[in-house]
């Protein structure tokens, strides 16, 4: 075989020649060299041939440049432009030197044989994007002329409309993607199909799934027939689904393929024998081990021989939590920490490792990372009959779909028996017992001064930490983090009795008022305008800022297009700008450490980019009258007092009414004294993160000057330990930053599951939708009331251009979204429960709210009119 780089034999290529033969070619070359795996013989026309013919053709390159200027959504232009490029490529006359090489290869493999001519792009079969089916494949091609013609068609298929759009969606440059073409001896199979080494439905890595049909695999890929489905685990067939197969695609002697009817007697027969199923499983596991990750494998059976014709990574799987040295082969169940925190976006490596360190010091428990998210091992809690009841019960206030998924887990008795036996609980019994005692004491004492003293103590502690952090540098920063976390833990945990007493009062009131009076969610109105709620105060105080801004037309004009880098300098030049600056700076002094997804230390804080607040300030000006802050607070307080009077008067009229009213009055008093404080713990945690971030960023700026890192924000892609090491050694392997940036970009596209096992199985919870109006979207009622309005589907807080009467629909809200709440009249989120931040603040403001509405941002259109029922928990699309 010639060493000409235009053509390479399949057996002589592998992963190292990815740039020459593309993803499919590289993988097939690896497979062809594996012992016990059969791959049909063939060769690759390399990307050098493509580059010579297409990549250096001036007219085609000009057209590709024109195509690169287009954006997603310009469908007509994309269709027209890609069509022109395809036609130009198909008209090319392939260079004689390349043709001679192809001719030589065909002579070696047999020029009378039929071949499959298949595309293999350099952006294909990647771990992060499969590009499956984006370029063309041609089967049963016979003769040199036909093969050469189909090579040109494969090159042209790189610019099919679907391939162009897919590259745009995944951020690939059209100029940088090249195409190799694989020419392989044709196999004429009795059966063929696809094998996934991880179950494509549940994502379980231990379950292998085989789709099988008669004839060529094109019948399955094109959706012409339903496949037989076989599931195998550890050499045992655990499930078979035999489908009715009316048609199959077969090769014609003269070339091409034909769709044939399958004779009646075979239509409902199994495609594979048990022996063949297990043969496939063994091959699949061998291939998976070779590539080091779950694979999507195309196979065919010809005369009892198994041939593999493609293998690529399965790109849709959510990663499994990394157990490090702890893995013992036992199954574990993980629950999403992000869903508990109303933060389901991917976190940066620094954000993850800092929060893991913080959480470990605060609770002595481990948070595991998967797909850029944090997970908690709940195996111990679910395994024990004693703890599982209370654990699952407690999830009701966090996320009902997570609760339902955990119920599903404990219903699988055999699965539960084989769960990992952890020695440690999420929270130690000793700690819980201590909190229990503090809760009883706080409830009995019912003293608002308790809250005031805790808040003052934490504020003093934070101010002290700010002074300490300003004096540390280098390695001292990391010692400061350890020291300060310990002191923060003592103060914060000491106040948990107050938090739990308020939660108990909420539960008690909702349960007993419903039992005695039939009213649902009584606590929702009773908690409105409760004192000391730092999060709801944050929203109301931005109304005061809006009152300053609304006085100055020049500032209002400037706010339409504010300068991010020059914001305060620009304001100083405008009429009223100094007063507006003063007002915003005062606001930032108190709340500037906040931002969306704030548990990730790397997220941009309002202090770092004050213009994030501008759309909310403008929204407040547009939707609210002057002095709205006090009016809203007073209105909420009035409603809460009226509700309390109404409940107590009605209770007194019942048998035993005096006793019932006395107990309810105490619970209401506890609720109003303590409920606001719950938000202060999160506020102080975010304040602490901001203190640490400033110290780290100061050190990062020094590292940029010293040439250790290129950009100060590059530290976001290192773990805390790696950052410490880089600062101590003044050195860094920069490849790790680039790799982490790519990983982070791919993680951001993933949807994190609420419940996940160590085998990768995603366990989802469902709602009982029988109680709902037809077509309604089910969710969890967290703040009472029914309201209709325009849905505003918003993904980033800075895009929140809301008007009065709008209903906010968003994946999640953390406390930073609160300033938006003063404008809207209802809330819908995809995650959350009764005690998550969005729910707490919605009740405080008297906004009807429904949370945990699966895929709400996909099912509800921006601008659509909707009705939300925050009492019964559903959304109607009007």
CB of 187 closer than 8 Å to CB of 211: no
Helix (H) or strand (E) holding 295: strand 295-302
Q: Is 164 exposed, middle or buried (0-12, 13-18, 19+ CB in 10 A)?
A: buried
User: Is the torsion defined by CA of 596, 598, 599, 603 positive or negative?
Assistant: positive
User: Is the torsion defined by CA of 818, 820, 825, 831 positive or negative?
Assistant: negative
Output the furthest CA–CA distance in the chain (Å, rounded). Answer: 101
**Separation of alpha carbons 144 and 154, rounded Å:** 15
Q: Give Cβ neighbours of residue 396 (< 8 Å, ≥ 6 apart).
A: 403, 833, 834
User: Is the torsion defined by CA of 484, 487, 491, 493 positive or negative?
Assistant: positive
Nearest to 336 by CA among 402, 409, 391: 402
**Separation of alpha carbons 619 and 821, rounded Å:** 11
**Separation of alpha carbons 721 and 726, rounded Å:** 9
Q: Measured in whole angstroms, how far is the alpha carbon of residue 403 from the centre of its chain?
A: 19
Nearest to 334 by CA among 762, 743, 746: 762
**Separation of alpha carbons 637 and 594, rounded Å:** 26
Q: Give Cβ neighbours of residue 652 (< 8 Å, ≥ 6 apart).
A: 658, 660, 661
837 an active-site residue?
yes
Per DSSP, the residues of 560-596 read TS--SSSHHHHHHTSTTHHHHHHHHHHHHHHHTT--T
Buried b or exposed e, range 587-617, using 16+ CB within 10 angstroms: bbeebbbbbbbbbbbbbebbbbebebbbbbb
476-494 helix and 349-363 helix, angle to the nearest 10 degrees: 50
Q: Measured in whole angstroms, how far is the alpha carbon of residue 198 from the centre of its chain?
A: 20
755-757 and 333-336: which strand pairing?
A: antiparallel
Q: Give the torsion through C-alpha atoms of 775, 778, 784, 787, to 10 deg.
A: -30
CB of 337 closer than 8 Å to CB of 376: yes
Q: What is the DSSP letter of 371?
A: T
Q: What is the CA radius of gyration of the chain?
A: 32
CB of 13 closer than 8 Å to CB of 29: yes
Q: Is 634 exposed, middle or buried (0-12, 13-18, 19+ CB in 10 A)?
A: exposed
- The C-alpha angle with vertex 851 and arms to 597 and 544, in degrees rounded to 5, equals 60
Residues annotated as catalytic (active site), given as ranges: 837
């Amino acid at each position: 075989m010639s060493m000409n780089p235009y053509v390479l034999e399949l057996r002589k290529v592998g992963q190292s020649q990815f740039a020459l033969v593309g993803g499919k070619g590289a993988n097939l070359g690896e497979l062809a060299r594996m012992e016990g795996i059969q791959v049909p013989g063939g060769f690759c026309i390399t990307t050098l041939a493509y580059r010579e013919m297409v990549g250096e053709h001036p007219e085609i390159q000009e057209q590709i440049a024109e195509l690169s200027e287009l954006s997603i959504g310009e469908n007509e232009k994309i269709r027209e432009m890609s069509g022109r490029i395809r036609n130009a490529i198909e008209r090319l006359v392939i260079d004689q030197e390349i043709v001679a090489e192809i001719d030589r290869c065909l002579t070696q493999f047999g020029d009378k044989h039929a071949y499959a001519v298949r595309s293999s792009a350099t952006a294909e079969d990647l771990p992060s994007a499969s590009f499956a089916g984006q370029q063309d494949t041609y089967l049963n091609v016979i003769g040199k002329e036909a093969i050469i013609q189909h090579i040109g068609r494969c090159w042209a298929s790189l610019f099919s409309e679907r391939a162009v759009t897919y590259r745009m969606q995944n951020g690939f440059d059209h100029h940088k993607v090249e195409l190799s073409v694989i020419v392989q001896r044709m196999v004429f199979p009795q059966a063929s199909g696809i094998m996934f080494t991880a179950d494509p439905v549940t994502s379980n890595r231990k379950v292998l799934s085989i789709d099988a049909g008669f004839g060529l695999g094109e019948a399955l890929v094109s959706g012409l027939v339903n496949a037989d489905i076989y599931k195998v685990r550890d050499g045992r067939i655990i499930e078979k689904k035999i489908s009715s197969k009316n048609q199959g695609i077969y090769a014609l002697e003269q070339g091409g393929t034909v769709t044939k009817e399958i004779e009646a007697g075979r239509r409902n027969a199994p495609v594979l024998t048990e022996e063949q199923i297990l043969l496939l499983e063994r091959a699949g596991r061998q291939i998976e081990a070779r590539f080091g990750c779950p694979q999507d494998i195309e196979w065919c059976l010809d005369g009892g021989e198994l041939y593999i014709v493609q293998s690529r990574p399965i790109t849709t799987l959510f990663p499994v939590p990394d157990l490090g040295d702890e893995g013992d082969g036992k199954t574990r169940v993980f629950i999403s920490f992000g869903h508990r925190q109303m933060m389901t976006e991917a976190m940066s490596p620094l954000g993850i490792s800092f929060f893991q360190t913080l959480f470990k010091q605060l609770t002595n428990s481990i948070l595991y990372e998967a797909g850029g998210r944090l997970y908690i091992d709940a195996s111990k809690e679910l395994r024990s009959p004693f703890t599982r009841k209370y654990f699952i019960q407690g999830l009701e206030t966090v996320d009902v779909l997570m609760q339902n998924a955990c119920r599903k887990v404990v219903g699988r008795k055999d699965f539960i028996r084989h769960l990992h036996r952890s020695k440690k609980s999420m929270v130690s019994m000793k700690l819980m017992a201590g909190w229990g005692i503090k809760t009883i004491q706080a409830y009995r004492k019912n003293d608002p001064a308790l809250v005031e003293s805790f808040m003052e103590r934490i504020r003093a502690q934070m101010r002290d930490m700010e002074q300490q952090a300003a004096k540390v540098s280098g390695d001292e920063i990391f010692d400061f983090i350890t020291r300060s976390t310990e002191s923060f833990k003592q103060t914060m945990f000491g106040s948990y009795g107050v938090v739990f007493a308020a939660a108990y009062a909420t539960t008690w009131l909702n349960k007993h008022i419903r039992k005695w009076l039939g009213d649902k969610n009584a606590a929702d109105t009773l908690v409105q305008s409760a004192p000391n709620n730092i999060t709801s105060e944050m929203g109301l105080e931005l109304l005061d800022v809006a009152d300053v801004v609304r006085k100055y037309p020049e500032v209002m004009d400037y706010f339409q297009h504010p300068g991010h880098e020059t914001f305060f300098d620009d304001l100083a030049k405008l009429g009223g700008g100094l007063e507006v600056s003063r007002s915003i700076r005062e606001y930032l002094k108190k709340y500037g450490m906040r931002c969306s997804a704030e548990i990730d230390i790397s997220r941009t804080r309002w202090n770092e980019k004050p213009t994030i607040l501008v759309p909310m300030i403008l929204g407040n000006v547009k939707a609210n009258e002057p002095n709205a802050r006090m009016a809203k607070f007073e209105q909420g307080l009035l409603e809460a007092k009226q509700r309390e009077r109404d409940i107590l008067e009605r209770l007194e009229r019942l048998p035993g009414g005096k006793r019932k009213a006395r107990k309810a009055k105490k619970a209401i008093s506890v609720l109003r004294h303590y409920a606001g404080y719950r938000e202060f713990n999160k506020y102080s945690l975010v304040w602490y993160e901001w203190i640490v971030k400033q110290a780290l960023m100061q050190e990062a700026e020094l590292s940029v000057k010293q040439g250790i890192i290129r950009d100060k924000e590059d530290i976001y892609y290192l773990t805390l330990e790696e950052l410490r090491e880089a600062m101590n050694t003044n050195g860094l392997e920069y490849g790790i930053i680039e790799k982490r940036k790519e990983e982070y970009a791919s993680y951001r596209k993933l949807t994190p599951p609420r419940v996940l096992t160590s085998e990768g199985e995603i366990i989802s919870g469902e709602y009982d939708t029988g109680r709902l109006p037809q077509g309604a979207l089910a969710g969890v009622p967290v703040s009472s009331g029914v309201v209709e309005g325009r849905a505003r589907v918003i993904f980033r807080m800075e895009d929140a251009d809301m008007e009065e009467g709008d209903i906010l629909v968003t994946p999640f809200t953390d406390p930073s979204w609160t300033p938006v709440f003063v404008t809207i009249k209802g809330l819908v989120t995809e995650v959350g429960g009764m005690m998550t931040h969005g729910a707490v603040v919605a009740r405080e403001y008297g906004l009807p709210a429904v949370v945990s509405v699966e895929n709400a941002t996909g099912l509800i259109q921006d601008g659509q009119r909707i009705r939300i029922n925050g009492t019964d928990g559903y959304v109607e699309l009007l």
